[in-house]
Structure 1
């Protein structure tokens, strides 16, 4: 019982930390991108107002303001995609992860190789798609922050009544046998997502040999009321 209590406390702490980290990320993104761009937009509108009053040529100023507006829209779109990608709702897990792989490769300068197997027109339950997408997000965050990798292989595969996701990198690795309480690099959160769906998470890693994370969950939501 004490081990279970400790595990739940660790999970609660992890969830709180993750929420606070995400809030800080959103606040910084809004301040650094949208906030500064909107200040620039406001200044540009003031200058435009003055130029119109003086009868000047405002074509160049309007073009600048349109460009600034486009920049704000792009920034907000990226932020919204990080929170909940539209492709996950409209196209499904395989398409969303394919898009995520392309985005991560461009954003982080990694060679991300994506494969999807066994997917059909029949969608997975929303809870399964969301959980697996978040696992991949967390795994990629770990790669970027800790692994010092140059290549990531991402596989998602439907196998009869199971779905498998594998994230493998060529980074520095770690001693997975001695990771304290499964919390190393956020593994606890990923494991809890798998557990909640009746699935499993396995980690293979050793110093200097990269890391492989494999999650397998039932393709049907075992907790549809959640």
Structure 2
């Protein structure tokens, strides 16, 4: 009976591969955290000190004073960009305030930038899930909302979370351009594969509903037990 014996080798290999992938993700997140702290604590503080010095210096001539003021403004802008980069690498809110506040912040910032309403129901995120689940859901929300900002041109966004039968579902919906879900992923949708892979590492699943001109809904389902 050819092919009738299951040696378990494939399952064992799959477990080892998933374990290695999870380890690599953990290492990547640890590096993100370290770099974020270095950017915020070291470079950010240095730039703030330089800006303060420039704001206080006066050269004695209107022309030089104006140039110093412009230099100070440029340093202020650079400091803001460093802060944003550090936040995107590993937001302090995720560790300090928790998953709900972090996802709410992501959605609020995006909708504020786009000038559109944002509907949120994230009470289910108030009880913190395991750290690995929380980080996964945060990265899914971050990627999905970034894609919306870059490609969707929506008039509204909705972000909700619900728990049912020991599983959590994070839903991110927009009424923007949408895309052909059956087509090969274009440059704006390559992040979907990464989201699927990240969710699979924690036993989760990504589902997408979309059509051109009909908006996009992303469902991220993860187990909370077992």
1:103 and 2:109 matched: yes
Match of 2:182 in 1: 177
Instruction: Give the CA deviation at 1:65.
Output: 8.6
Equivalent pair of 2:175/2:215 in contact (CA under 8 Å): yes
Match of 1:117 in 2: 123
RMSD: 4.1
Distance 2:69 2:201 in 1: 51
Distance 1:161 1:77 in 2: 37
Residue 153 (structure 2) aligned to one of 148, 151, 155: 148
Helix, strand or coil at the partner of 2:57? helix
Match of 1:48 in 2: 57
Matches within 5 A, 1:186-225: 186-220=191-225
Structure 2 length as normaliser, TM-score?
A: 0.64
Instruction: Give the CA deviation at 1:69.
Output: 6.5
Which segments of 5 or more consecutive residues in structure 2 lack a partner in the other structure? 1-9, 11-16, 22-27, 29-34
Match of 2:31 in 1: none
Which segments of 5 or more consecutive residues in structure 1 lack a partner in the other structure? 2-7, 13-18, 20-25, 55-59
Match of 2:92 in 1: 86
Instruction: Give the CA deviation at 1:109.
Output: 3.0
Helix, strand or coil at the partner of 2:129? coil
Equivalent pair of 1:48/1:61 in contact (CA under 8 Å): no
Number of residue-to-residue matches in the alignment? 181
